[in-house]
Amino acid sequence: MSSSLLPGVTGMRRQVPPATGQLRLGTLLREVHRDGAVSRTELADRMGVNRSTILTLIAKLAATGLVREETSATTGRAGRPSLVVRPATGQVYVLAFDVAVDRLVAARVGLGGTVLERRETARRRGQDDLDEVVTALAEFGGALVAAAPPGAKCVGVGASYCGLIGAADGKVRLEPTIGWTDVDFGPALGRRLGLGLPVAVGNEAHLGALAEHERGAGVGSRNLVYLHGDVGVGGGIIVGGRLLDGDDGYAAELGHMIVNPYGGRPCNCGSRGCLEAEVGESALLEAAGRTGGPIGREGVRAVVEAAENGDAAARAALDRVGDWLGIGVTNLINLFNPGVVVFGGMLSEIYRGSAAQVSARVNAGVLPVSRERVALRTAALGYDSTLAGAAELGFAALLTDPLGTTRADQDPTVPAALPE
Amino acid sequence: MSSSLLPGVTGMRRQVPPATGQLRLGTLLREVHRDGAVSRTELADRMGVNRSTILTLIAKLAATGLVREETSATTGRAGRPSLVVRPATGQVYVLAFDVAVDRLVAARVGLGGTVLERRETARRRGQDDLDEVVTALAEFGGALVAAAPPGAKCVGVGASYCGLIGAADGKVRLEPTIGWTDVDFGPALGRRLGLGLPVAVGNEAHLGALAEHERGAGVGSRNLVYLHGDVGVGGGIIVGGRLLDGDDGYAAELGHMIVNPYGGRPCNCGSRGCLEAEVGESALLEAAGRTGGPIGREGVRAVVEAAENGDAAARAALDRVGDWLGIGVTNLINLFNPGVVVFGGMLSEIYRGSAAQVSARVNAGVLPVSRERVALRTAALGYDSTLAGAAELGFAALLTDPLGTTRADQDPTVPAALPE
């Protein structure tokens, strides 16, 4: 299921109807999961079904413990108290993991997307191996499950990984900084967790894009470009509401768009002048003359703050990096005609410090028809967009088939807390 | 309908079911239209319906004159003659128009995609206006309709245009070479044709991509990148089987991907170092020292032939242009992880003359995971990929609702040739 869920990074939006009833239950649960509290009437309207059908669907989901009905604080039409449907945030959760270059994060995320508890540790760059990463995450996971309230049920596990992920098999294909190839990370973590649940794995920038589209800076946009800075530069692109995956799941590698082919900086990929080489962490720190100091987000933030405080070298470094970032963004807007471009991870800080340069390039190079449309924003979910995307991956199976996933016999390690 | 069909450039692939029966008829007709002769059994298999259902559907389409059944030349299972369903190529047709920078083309294209008759004239660069273009095309169109056999029915009109086309209103937004803005080309041509049919308009490179995906070098590929050279450089991109349109229909403007921001050639768009500026017709002719000679495809072909015959200046020009083309293609493959990249229009000639340079860049700059997958090809439909795409646009309404479109009362200027 790890591999079937991985095309599921897109697949979770491709509704292959198992049956009309199940499909409707999934649709209803997705609405409530995404929006929090939704009234009966609103749900019926959105789904185009009548009142009696919506009541039946709500009753089925409520019986499994997935949603509950409550009187809303606000009153409905004609002054009567309005009934809203809410996700069972505390009772139904997933484990979400984020393997970034320099940190490991694990969280228990409730239905509805609320982070209920999280744990984080630094990851030593270039020193970790699969076993070390999996051990650390599995320990976090075990502790999170143990700390869950009695009766709460874990319905899925999703992980964001800072590497290429094959759509067909879910394997991590490459991790340039430390040289792994073809690592079976998902199954290894699944075994170590021992929850009897598969681990769905997605590329960090793809998941960041999904999360920002679903719950962040890109809600309501059909076409979104997400740029993610995490030492390197990755991308996730939403096209017509769906994640751009490509033939094998490797699409949106915008960090390896060549913007400076002659005289550009060498890139980890072996090429030269890639966007990642020109705007990544090391490009900024070197341009600012800060190669021996703090690295990662602390290092990047320090440059942005120094520039704000008048440091000329920091300002010049951000101007340079912002110019290249603007060129990359210009190209992406001309290619995707998106409603929004979102800067996530460290690029969120870099964009804050160089928005003028980015805008100047966009104004000069984007065709007017696309320029008029697009908004440039930082990630609304901050550094947690990737973690939030991993949680969505974990919820995918439940949202496709709400009753199937909550059947107690699926998970031998967790007692049947939810009635069928 | 011109405007509703235009999102239809994508919309024609987005099957919003009007009713199960109509949807099935459309699906069946699309299969036959695309593949030519398809056996009953094969159709039933593809559509997942039983023998009696497929016979009913075929009978309905045959009764309207849209398809006919024939004994295949080859024999079927158990040596019995096999019955195949064929499109009524001679009887049901569209008018397809292609407004390129330097030529105007019109064709009568039969169901099944066969060009039954075509007319072409040169278009003087920078001298045409809307009225001149529409007059020439309407004359062609009138002659094509008049030459059609008695009883043949025109079911749609599609046009490819070398400019940006707004998805919401179908207007031509920009024609950089001669400076039009917001031209209502489709309605003007429709009025002049007087057929009582709307004219669906699409961007030439978008339509070239659709045609190559449907009938050309990209058949069977889920993800395809099409680069079109027509003085400038345009693009059409198929993502997961659908045309990438963006929020307003302006996506895939890959000619304005900046690859040479510092020191690059000025581009018509006002920017510098765009792919179009580095690999377009004038870049090649100038690099080859052939600025006073033939232009357009003759000029480009002459450079490629000269290089083949050992002309050093022509060889150097193609090497230079091929290098920039390779950089652009590298970026597109890293972004889209496509199965195939197709070079159309003049870029087909340029790619033939510089395939080694393009491949060298791709090998150096594309991530191995995407490089292993992709094939680079010239357009199988040659210079007619845009015209073929226009024909598909013309057929879109018929293929969505086969019976609705063939109702005789729809078109007052053409006698009811087809029984309902």
pLDDT in tens, A330-351: 999 999 999 999 999 999 999 9
- Which residue of B lies nearest to A360 if distances are taken between CA atoms? B271
The alpha-carbon gap from B357 to the nearest alpha carbon of chain A, in Å, equals 14
DSSP one-letter code for B40: H
User: Which of B223, B242, B330 is nearest residue A258 as measured by Cβ atoms?
Assistant: B330
Tokens, residue B128: 């045409």
A330/B373 CB distance under 8 A? no
Q: Determine the residue among A239, A278, A323 to mutate to test chain B binding: the one whose Cβ has the most chain B Cβ atoms within 10 Å.
A: A239
Is A372:A190 a contact under the CB 8 Å cutoff? no
pLDDT of residue A182: 78
Q: Read off the pLDDT band of B408 (50, 70, 90).
A: very low
| B327-340 tens-digit pLDDT | 999 999 999 999 99
Chain B residues with beta carbon closer than 8 angstroms to that of A327: 258, 261
Among A30, A28, A29, A97, smallest CA distance to A389 is for: A97
B331/A257 CB distance under 8 A? yes
Q: Which alpha helices (DSSP H) does B165-311 contain, by range?
A: 185-193, 204-215, 275-279, 281-287, 296-308
CA–CA separation, B105 vs B385, rounded Å? 12
Q: Give B220-380's CATH code, choosing from 1.10.357.140, 3.30.420.40, 3.40.720.10, 3.40.228.10.
A: 3.30.420.40
Chain A residues with beta carbon closer than 8 angstroms to that of B250: 337, 367, 369-370
Enumerate residues 6+ apart whose C-beta is below 8 A from B285.
B291, B293, B295, B299, B300, B303, B317
Q: Which residues of chain A have pLDDT under 50?
A: 1-19, 407-420
Is A352:A169 a contact under the CB 8 Å cutoff? no
Chain B residues with beta carbon closer than 8 angstroms to that of A173: 369
The alpha-carbon gap from B331 to the nearest alpha carbon of chain A, in Å, equals 5
Q: In a 10 Å sphere around its CB, with 0-12 CB exposed, 13-18 middle and 19+ buried, how is residue A34 labelled? A: middle
Say how many C-beta atoms besides its own lie within 10 A of residue B169's C-beta.
Answer: 16
* Alpha-carbon radius of gyration of chain B: 22
A245/B242 CB distance under 8 A? no
Question: Strand pairing partners for A81?
Answer: A75
- Which residue of A lies nearest to B10 if distances are taken between CA atoms? A240
Is A224:A218 a contact under the CB 8 Å cutoff? yes
Going along B144-223, which residue ranges are E strands? 153-161, 164-165, 172-174, 199-203
CA distances from A234 to A123, A231, A281, A330 (A): 19, 10, 12, 16
pLDDT of residue B175: 52
pLDDT of residue A175: 52
The alpha-carbon gap from B178 to the nearest alpha carbon of chain A, in Å, equals 16
- Most distant pair of Cα atoms in chain B: their distance: 69
Chain B residues with beta carbon closer than 8 angstroms to that of A262: 260
Is B156:B405 a contact under the CB 8 Å cutoff? yes
- Which residue of B lies nearest to A274 if distances are taken between CA atoms? B365
CA–CA separation, B353 vs B284, rounded Å? 11
Q: Determine the residue among B13, B239, B260 to mutate to test chain A binding: the one whose Cβ has the most chain A Cβ atoms within 10 Å.
A: B239
Superfamily (CATH H level) for A219-380: ATPase, nucleotide binding domain (3.30.420.40)
Q: Determine the residue among B15, B223, B258 to mutate to test chain A binding: the one whose Cβ has the most chain A Cβ atoms within 10 Å.
A: B258
User: Which of B223, B235, B271 is nearest residue A364 as measured by Cβ atoms?
Assistant: B271
User: Which of B222, B259, B270 is nearest residue A258 as measured by Cβ atoms?
Assistant: B259
| B112-127 tens-digit pLDDT | 999 999 999 998 876 5
DSSP one-letter code for A178: T
Tokens, residue A85: 């449907």
A337/B257 CB distance under 8 A? no
At B203, give phi and psi (nearest 5°).
Answer: -65, 140
A258/B337 CB distance under 8 A? no
User: Which of A235, A239, A262 is nearest residue B239 as measured by Cβ atoms?
Assistant: A239
A335/B252 CB distance under 8 A? yes
**What is the amino acid identity at position A270?**
G
Tokens, residue A140: 């976090």
- Which residue of B lies nearest to A252 if distances are taken between CA atoms? B335
Q: Provide CATH code, domain B1-216+383-420.
A: 3.30.420.40
- Which residue of A lies nearest to B323 if distances are taken between CA atoms? A261
Dihedral-angle region of residue B65 (phi above 0 means left; psi in -120 to 50 means alpha; beta otherwise): left
A370/B248 CB distance under 8 A? yes
Among A384, A57, A396, smallest CA distance to A211 is for: A384
- Which residue of A lies nearest to B236 if distances are taken between CA atoms? A335
Residue B110 has pLDDT above 90, yes or no: yes
CA–CA separation, B417 vs B401, rounded Å? 18
- B220-380 has the same fold as B1-216+383-420: yes
CA–CA separation, A67 vs A399, rounded Å? 12
Tokens, residue A161: 């990984």
Q: Provide CATH code, domain A2-87.
A: 1.10.10.10
DSSP one-letter code for A266: B
Q: Provide CATH code, domain A92-207+384-410.
A: 3.30.420.40
Enumerate residues 6+ apart whose C-beta is below 8 A from A73.
none
Q: What does pTM read for this prediction?
A: 0.90
pLDDT of residue B16: 29
Tokens, residue A215: 């719950």
Chain B residues with beta carbon closer than 8 angstroms to that of A274: 365
If you average pLDDT over residues B367-371, what whole number do you get?
A: 92
**What is the amino acid identity at position A414?**
V
- Report the percent of chain B where pLDDT is more than 70: 87
A253/B174 CB distance under 8 A? no
User: Which of A261, A330, A336 is nearest residue B251 as measured by Cβ atoms?
Assistant: A336
Element (H, E) at A2: helix A2-5
**Interchain CB contacts (distance < 8 Å): A and B:** 150
Among A271, A219, A339, A225, smallest CA distance to B335 is for: A225
pLDDT of residue B78: 61
pLDDT of residue A18: 37
CA–CA separation, B238 vs B252, rounded Å? 10
User: Which of A240, A247, A337 is nearest residue B338 as measured by Cβ atoms?
Assistant: A247
Q: Determine the residue among B15, B250, B333 to mutate to test chain A binding: the one whose Cβ has the most chain A Cβ atoms within 10 Å.
A: B250
B252/A367 CB distance under 8 A? no
Enumerate residues 6+ apart whose C-beta is below 8 A from B120.
B103, B104, B105, B106
pLDDT of residue A183: 81
- Which residue of A lies nearest to B275 if distances are taken between CA atoms? A331
CA–CA separation, A294 vs A304, rounded Å? 13
The alpha-carbon gap from B170 to the nearest alpha carbon of chain A, in Å, equals 14
Going along B278-351, which residue ranges are E strands? 340-345
pLDDT of residue A19: 41
Element (H, E) at B33: helix B20-35
Say how many C-beta atoms besides its own lie within 10 A of residue B110's C-beta.
Answer: 23
3-class state of residue B415 by DSSP: coil
The angle at the Cα of A95, spanning A92 to A100, to the nearest 5 degrees, equals 150
At B110, give phi and psi (nearest 5°).
Answer: -80, 155
Least confident of A199-208, B69-78, B199-208, B371-380: B69-78
- Which residue of A lies nearest to B11 if distances are taken between CA atoms? A240
CA–CA separation, A39 vs A228, rounded Å? 35
Chain A residues with beta carbon closer than 8 angstroms to that of B253: 334-335, 337, 367, 370
Delimit the domains of chain B by residue range: 1-216+383-420, 220-380
Q: Determine the residue among A15, A340, A369 to mutate to test chain B binding: the one whose Cβ has the most chain B Cβ atoms within 10 Å.
A: A369
pLDDT of residue A404: 83
A337/B271 CB distance under 8 A? no
More confident residue, B151 or B175: B151
Say how many C-beta atoms besides its own lie within 10 A of residue A150's C-beta.
Answer: 6
Q: Using CA of residue B55, residue B56, residue B60, residue B61, what is the dihedral sign?
A: negative
B359 Cα distance to chain centroid = 25
Q: Determine the residue among B164, B369, B371, B373 to mutate to test chain A binding: the one whose Cβ has the most chain A Cβ atoms within 10 Å.
A: B369
Enumerate residues 6+ apart whose C-beta is below 8 A from A139.
none
